[in-house]
Homo-oligomer: A and B are copies of this chain.
Amino acid sequence: MNHPDLLPKLLSMPDVQSAPDHRELAIDQVGIRGLRYPLPIADRDGVQSTIADCSVFVQLPADRKGTHMSRLVELLEERAAPGAEPIGVATLRTLVDALVSRLDAPGGRLELAFPFFVRKTAPVSGIPSLLDYQAKLVGELDEGRYTQTIAVAVPVTSLCPSSKEISEYGAHNQRSVITITARTREPMFIADLLRVAEEEASSELFGILKRADEKFVTERAYDNPRFVEDLVRGVAARLDADPRLDAFVVEAENFESIHNHSAFARIARRM
C-alpha cells in the first residue's frame, strides 16, 4: 500500500503549519490528546506493561501558525518499541526534554494516564492478587523550569462514624476513591504514594478475599470509621510532613451506600 514513487512530488507540498500567524496570540498548549499507546512503566516493584492515555502538548509562539502533530506521536512510538527504556518518575523528564527540543518549542507538557497494578496479599489467608489504581504522570517545561506531578486514584473502604455511633448495630460503608496529586521535589514511587491513602482509610481493598479475610476487613472497617473529611485530613497531614513534596491536592469521594450521590472533600496545599 506504500507509494514511494509519489514521495519526491509530495515532499514539495506546502507546509501550512510553518507559515506565520498574524493574530499575535501565543498558544499555551497545542498537540494531541486521547492517544492510547502501550508503554512500559518502571516503579518500585519493577517494570509493568500498561496502556496509557497520552496528551502531548507544546507551547506555540505568537508568530507560528501551527505545530507538527505527527512528531508528537513519534515520540511515543519510539517508547512503545520492543526493548525501549521504560518510563517512570525518575526518567519522565527526558521525554519532556526531547519533546521541547524536537519541536523547537519554548515549552512543553506530557501527560500519561494509565492503570497501575500492585500485587497485594490478602490480610489473613495471604493469597496474592492484583489491585488496579488509576495513575497519572505529568511533566512540564515552562520558561526553562521543570515541574513534575504524580497523581494516583486509590479505591478504599470508608465507614461512616455517625452511622456507627447512632445505630444500635451496623454502619453504612462504601467504596471511596482517594486521589492524591503531588508535585514532587524528588522522585517518589507511585506504589509508595498510594499506600498513604490506603493507610488512612477505614480499610484498604483487595482483589481476592477468602472468608477469613472478609471477616478481617469487615471488622477493620468497623474499628476505623472515617468521614470523608477524615480521609482528606489524614492524608493531608502525612503529605504535609513529607519533605519530598512541594505541593499537593488530596480529594476523597465516597460513593455513599445510602444515597445516589457522593460525599466529597478536598484539601490543597500550594497547588
> When the two chains form their complex, are residues A217 and B175 in contact, meaning their CB atoms are under 8 A apart?
no
> When the two chains form their complex, are residues A210 and B166 in contact, meaning their CB atoms are under 8 A apart?
no
> When the two chains form their complex, are residues B73 and A129 in contact, meaning their CB atoms are under 8 A apart?
yes
> When the two chains form their complex, are residues B30 and A266 in contact, meaning their CB atoms are under 8 A apart?
yes
Chain B residues near A48 (CB, 8 Å)? 38
Q: How far is the CA of A262 from the CA of B30 in the complex (A)?
A: 11
A171 contact from B7, B23, B207, B218, Cβ within 8 A: B218
Q: How far is the CA of A228 from the CA of B236 in the complex (A)?
A: 36
> When the two chains form their complex, are residues A25 and B267 in contact, meaning their CB atoms are under 8 A apart?
yes
Total number of A residues with any Cβ neighbor in B under 8 Å: 116
Q: How far is the CA of A64 from the CA of B29 in the complex (A)?
A: 41
Q: Does A44 contact B (CB under 8 A)?
A: no
- Which one of A8-16, A87-95, A99-107, A186-194 is at the interface? A8-16
* A207 and B260 in contact, given A124-B4, A129-B77, A162-B16 (Cβ under 8 angstroms): yes
User: A58 → chain B, closest Cβ, in Å?
Assistant: 10
> When the two chains form their complex, are residues B29 and A266 in contact, meaning their CB atoms are under 8 A apart?
yes
* A30 and B229 in contact, given A51-B51, A210-B70, A261-B35 (Cβ under 8 angstroms): yes
12 residue pairs A–B, Cβ–Cβ below 8 Å: A13-B212, A16-B161, A17-B227, A25-B233, A29-B265, A31-B264, A51-B132, A69-B263, A155-B260, A166-B215, A167-B218, A214-B258
- A residues sitting closer than 8 Å to B (CB atoms) are 1-4, 6-7, 10-11, 13-17, 21, 23, 25-38, 48-51, 55, 57, 60, 65-67, 69-70, 73-74, 77, 80, 115, 117, 121, 123-132, 155, 157, 159-163, 165-175, 203, 205-212, 214-219, 221-222, 227-229, 232-234, 236-237, 253, 255-268
Closest 10 CB pairs of A and B: A10-B212, A170-B222, A49-B49, A35-B261, A33-B264, A30-B265, A167-B218, A36-B132, A29-B266, A16-B162
